[in-house]
Amino acid sequence: MVEVTALTKEEAEHCPVRSVLTRVTGKWQMLILLALEGDELRFGALKRKIGDVTQRMLTENLRTLERDGHLTRTVHAGPPLAVSYALTPQGLSLVGVLKPLVFWAAEHFDAIDASRVKVDAAKA
Amino acid sequence: MVEVTALTKEEAEHCPVRSVLTRVTGKWQMLILLALEGDELRFGALKRKIGDVTQRMLTENLRTLERDGHLTRTVHAGPPLAVSYALTPQGLSLVGVLKPLVFWAAEHFDAIDASRVKVDAAKA
DNA sequence: CAGAATCCGACATGATACTG
DNA sequence: CAGTATCATGTCGGATTCTG
């Protein structure tokens, strides 16, 4: 079994599992990983594919994901300058456990939304 | 297929999948859900089980998870006042897709940490 | 016991402008 | 094209105090 709770404050801050999870469950990381599943994309293409993400956030998150070994950054000599990003085997494997979560969210959204409406109505 | 990217700014803000995910991938929600797998816990017990979480954050996140129908809040007449929390079938199902992610993180931490060390060394 | 209310600092994110 | 630098802002989260 993997323990992620029942930790002291010190243990929690150094918890390996939490350190991995906090870096893939942010607002953009998951979207980036999913966007790269299947194809290697250049910076601009990736930005367009995600749609709503600023250059700054995309760059920052790509660096973090690269540092953790989830993707690779390849510079193709220019001009024009081109940089492409692709999932590593590890990143692909990560996407494999991320997708079920996304599918789950899609499947259960109706029920969740109904719950929200119901709860909000009850306390209103 | 489920689309979560290639959205306009407007679409993204109302994206159902993202609205579900942002509420379960925070710093505490996942830990709360995992802590409740198996047993129904009272507020204090839950707080102790997670270890490092303030009353405020626990309360706040429990309310959100309750609103989304992932767990139930039951008040047992006091005194002393007792309130217990338990996963709903939906919440249990959610934990089912969350755990693989946690296991994945545990399994791959060594490789990820090695990657971090390597990358940091390269640019230093 | 299980919260609610308040204050506050840290960080994440956005917008914008500039560069090799 | 693919960033970097800077500034502004809003939310997250911790600490503390108070209550039925």
Residue contact B112–A68, C-beta within 8 A: yes
In whole angstroms, what is the distance from residue A109 CA to residue B2 CA?
A: 12
Q: What is the pLDDT of residue B90?
A: 96
* pLDDT number for residue A6: 55
Q: Which residues contact A7 (CB under 8 A, 6 or more apart)?
A: A15, B51, B52
As a whole number of Å, the CA-based R_g of chain B is 18
Q: Nearest by CB to A90, which of B5, B103, B108?
A: B108
**What pLDDT is recorded for position A80?**
85
pLDDT tens over chain A, length 124 residues: 566 665 565 666 678 888 888 888 888 999 999 999 999 999 999 999 998 899 999 999 999 999 999 999 999 987 788 999 999 999 999 999 999 999 999 999 999 999 999 999 887 6
pLDDT tens sequence for chain B (124 residues): 666 665 565 666 678 888 888 888 888 999 999 999 999 999 999 999 988 899 999 999 999 999 999 999 999 987 788 999 999 999 999 999 999 999 999 999 999 999 999 999 987 7
Amino acid occupying residue A96 = G
In strand C, which positions have an atom below 7 A from any protein CB?
Answer: 1-6, 12-17, 20
Question: By three-state DSSP, how is residue B27 classified?
Answer: coil
- At residue A26, the pLDDT reads 84
Looking at domain B9-123, its CATH class is mainly alpha
CB A84 within 8 A of CB A44: no
pLDDT at residue number A19: 83
Q: pTM score > 0.85 for this model?
A: yes
Domain positions in chain A: 9-123
Cα separation, A70 vs A53, whole angstroms: 19
The Cα of B85 is separated from the nearest Cα of chain A by a number of Å equal to 16
Q: Looking at CA atoms only, how far is residue B34 from chain A in angstroms? A: 8
